[in-house]
Amino acid sequence: MKRRDFLGTAGGGALLAGGVLAGCQQTETANTTAPAARVNEVIHWKLVTTWPRNFPGLGTGANNLARLINEMSGGRLQVKVFGAGELVPPMEVFGAVMQGIAEMGHGAAYYWKGKTEVAQFFAAVPFGLTAQEMNAWLLYGGGMELWREVYAPFGVIPVMAGNSGVQMAGWFNREINSVEDLRGLKMRIPGLGGEVLSRAGGVPVQIAGGELFTALQTGAIDATEWVGPYNDLALGLHKAAKYYYYPGWHEPGTTLEALLNRDAFTALPEDLQHIVINACHVVNGDMLAEYTARNNAALKTLVEEHGVDLRRLPDKVLERLRELSNEVVAEIAGKDALSGKVYESFSRFREQVTAWDDISERAYLNVRGGS
Ligand code: CA
């Protein structure tokens, strides 16, 4: 049973769901019969990402992951990173890992809603969990086992590997003073958030990050969300929009994922399996720390140097978006039994953690006071 702890964490509530590592018997045999041969073997892996190469935070996070695995394994497992489009197009990362074109991927689960809609719960849910709450649900609240179950039919193992923290609502060239102002709003906003906007009368548009600036500047769209100050400043979005709205109701703590081809992973010697999983967990925490540090520095630059008009979405607008979000999210629960199970686990955790947050984080931040 010890071997089943791999994908969990120390003390973890994240035991591996039965059967996910069906191929691990093979690894065990290889390990016990020829350990000496395996120790000197150098294994080469490809890591495909949904991000442009070296993109701040996201792409550099994938680079860190590869570097950590290389270093921790003493060069025995060498991971080479491919940016979006270098080996496969960004939206084919999951398929590439599934087919073994690459042994590993880095992306976000909501990109794979075409494979299974419930995957979106493991990246970001509108009015869902914050980064810390996502970590808690995944590692100690049963979320990780469900995530593995969702990806198991594809022969892919997910591991949490990054978090953006709370994102921004986005850049707008239209003032949002009421729910009415959302009507006809052409906005780049993917995933469940886009569906919510559509029900509020808006027009969600799918546009890749590299084309956002031009789309906003030419008026092809009225608004766009991207990530937060750090990434948004890098894209120069402040030069193309009048208002910068918060909070990011649609992405309150987006979890990024590493994808592992199950056959490739289970064929690794056991110590390398531990290294891969733990490197992902290191990057998971590191990226959130980086975003937290760099977002506040970038926000200062945006406001003080570029005179950005920072605005909070009105309560009435947020209330309406929350009602619609709950509707949209609950509908996924009805798709099939596993989706229902994920929804139930997620919703129960959100309710419980909110009661605790009310008297911990929220209570503390309120007494600490504003800036
Ligand atoms: Ca976003």
Q: Are residues 211 and 342 in the same domain?
A: yes
What's the per-residue H, E or C state across the chain? Answer: CHHHHCCCCCCCCCCCCCCCCCCHHHHHHHHHHCHHHHHCCCEEEEEEECCCCCCCCHHHHHHHHHHHHHHHCCCCEEEEEECCCCCCCHHHHHHHHHHCCCCEEEECHHHHCCCCHHHHHHCCCCCCCCHHHHHHHHHHCCHHHHHHHHHHHHCEEEEEEEECCCCCCEEECCCCCCHHHHCCCEEECCHHHHHHHHHCCCEEECCCHHHHHHHHHCCCCCEECCCCHHHHHHHCHHHCCCEEEECCCCCCCCEEEEEEEHHHHHCCCHHHHHHHHHHHHHHHHHHHHHHHHHHHHHHHHHHHHCCCEEEECCHHHHHHHHHHHHHHHHHHHCCCHHHHHHHHHHHHHHHHHHHHHHHCHHHHHHHHCCC
Q: Residues 125, 174: one domain?
A: no
Residue 311 Cα to ligand 1 middle (Å): 18
Measured between alpha carbons, how far is 305 from 112 in angstroms, rounded to an integer? 38
Kindly state whether residues 229 and 265 are assigned to the same domain.
Answer: no
> 87 C-alpha vs ligand 1 centroid, how far in Å?
24
The alpha carbon of 126 and the centre of ligand 1 are apart by a number of angstroms equal to 11
Same domain for 145 and 52, yes or no, is yes
152 and 262, same domain (yes or no): yes
Same domain, 105 and 236: no
> 147-183 as b/e, with b when 16 or more CB fall inside 10 Å?
bbbbbbebbbbbbbbbbbbbbbbbbbbbebeebebbe
Residues 148 and 269 in one domain: yes
How many angstroms does the Cα of residue 371 sit away from the middle of ligand 1? 25
**3 lies in a domain?**
no
Within-domain flag for 306:
no
Most distant pair of Cα atoms in the chain: their distance: 69
Whether residues 48 and 91 share a domain: the answer is yes
Residues 153 and 70 in one domain: yes
Give a yes or no: residue 201 inside a domain.
yes
Domain endpoint, select from 291, 320, 349: 291
CA–CA gap between residue 342 and residue 346 (Å, rounded): 6
**27 near 33, Cβ under 8 Å?**
no
The predicted-structure confidence for 167-183, as pLDDT tens digits, reads as follows 999 999 999 999 999 99
- Report CA(72)–ligand 1 centroid distance (Å): 31
Kindly report, residue by residue over 241-283, the tens digit of the pLDDT. 999 999 999 999 999 999 999 999 999 999 999 999 999 999 9
pLDDT of 206 reads 84
226 and 106 housed in the same domain = no
Ligand 1 centroid to Cα of residue 209, in Å, is 10
| pLDDT tens digits along 326-343 | 999 999 999 999 999 999
Domain containing 318 equals 170-251+312-368
- Cα 343 to ligand 1 centroid, rounded to whole Å: 22
Other beta carbons within 10 angstroms of residue 76's beta carbon come to 19
Give me the CATH number covering residue 154: 3.40.190.170
298 falls within a domain: no
Rounded to the nearest angstrom, the distance between the alpha carbon of 73 and the centre of ligand 1 is 33
Q: Is the pLDDT of residue 130 over 90?
A: yes
Ligand 1 centroid–CA 335 distance in Å is 25
Closest alpha carbon to 190 in 132, 107, 134: 107
Ligand 1: centre distance to CA 19 (Å)? 34
Do the beta carbons of residue 132 and residue 183 sit within 8 Å? no
- Judge whether 198 lies within some domain: yes
Answer yes or no: is 19 within a domain.
no
Any idea what the CATH number is for the domain that residue 361 is in? 3.40.190.10
Distant-in-sequence, close-in-space partners of 180: CB < 8 Å, separation ≥ 6 = none
Stronger pLDDT, 20 or 231, i.e. the higher one: 231
Residues 332 and 245 in one domain: yes
Could you tell me which residues come within 8 angstroms of residue 271 by beta carbon, excluding any fewer than 6 positions away? none
Structural domains of the chain, count: 2
Give me ligand 1 centre to Cα 60, in Å: 17
**Is the pLDDT confidence value at 44 over 90?**
yes
Q: State the pLDDT confidence band at 38, using cuts at 50, 70 and 90.
A: low
Taking the whole predicted model, whether its pTM rises above 0.85 is answered as: yes
Residue 24 lies in a domain: no
Tell me how far the alpha carbon of residue 109 lies from the centroid of ligand 1, in angstroms: 13
pLDDT for the residue 40: 77
Distance from the CA of 225 to the center of ligand 1, in angstroms?
A: 6
Q: Is residue 7 part of a domain?
A: no
Distance 195 CA to ligand 1 centre (A): 14
Same-domain status, 282 and 318: no
| Residue with token string 């992405």 | 251
The CA distances from residue 129 to 118, 126, 255, in Å, are 15, 8, 10
